[in-house]
Amino acid sequence: QVHLVESGGGLVQAGGSLRLSCAASGRTFSTYVMGWFRQAPGREREFVARISRSGGSTNYADSVKGRFTISRDNAKNTVYLQMNSLEPEDTANYYCAASAIPAAITERGLYPYWGQGTQVTVSS
């Protein structure tokens, strides 16, 4: 089992940047695929980005490709989401998630472990 805690959210103007962090408990962090999802008010939780266990493979939603970068530091049990060129449409609560299934990418149901979320608000 893994416990996840996100941080780094906040209020930023359009065009600005934020870096989210997700710290994981336990000694087996490197055995989990890690994902970032987001949920805006009145909308379903949606996939943002995913990184493989080694960090060698990443996937992104089309809406964030070229603007967001997911990375991980297995020595620090932490996954990051660097968000650049933020837009008001990026406003949401951002969640990190962990899966022991190597093939897990966009499907929420394949991620059994979730953090509590961190709010990102982008003003126009």
Tens digit of each residue's pLDDT (9 = 90 or more) over 12-68: 999 999 999 999 997 799 999 999 999 999 999 999 999 999 999 999 999 999 999
DSSP letter (8 states) at residue 8: -
pLDDT for position 27: 78
Q: Is the per-residue pLDDT at 1 higher than 90? A: no
Report which secondary-structure segment, H or E, holds 35.
strand 33-39
pLDDT for position 10: 98
Residue among 47, 121, 50, 60 nearest 90 (CA): 121
Tens digit of each residue's pLDDT (9 = 90 or more) over 84-122: 999 999 999 999 999 999 999 999 999 999 999 999 999
DSSP letter (8 states) at residue 89: G
Tens digit of each residue's pLDDT (9 = 90 or more) over 74-94: 999 999 999 999 999 999 999
pLDDT for position 26: 79
pLDDT for position 30: 95
The alpha carbon dihedral of 46, 62, 50, 123 has a sign of negative
What is the distance between the alpha carbons of residues 73 and 81, in angstroms, rounded to a whole number? 12
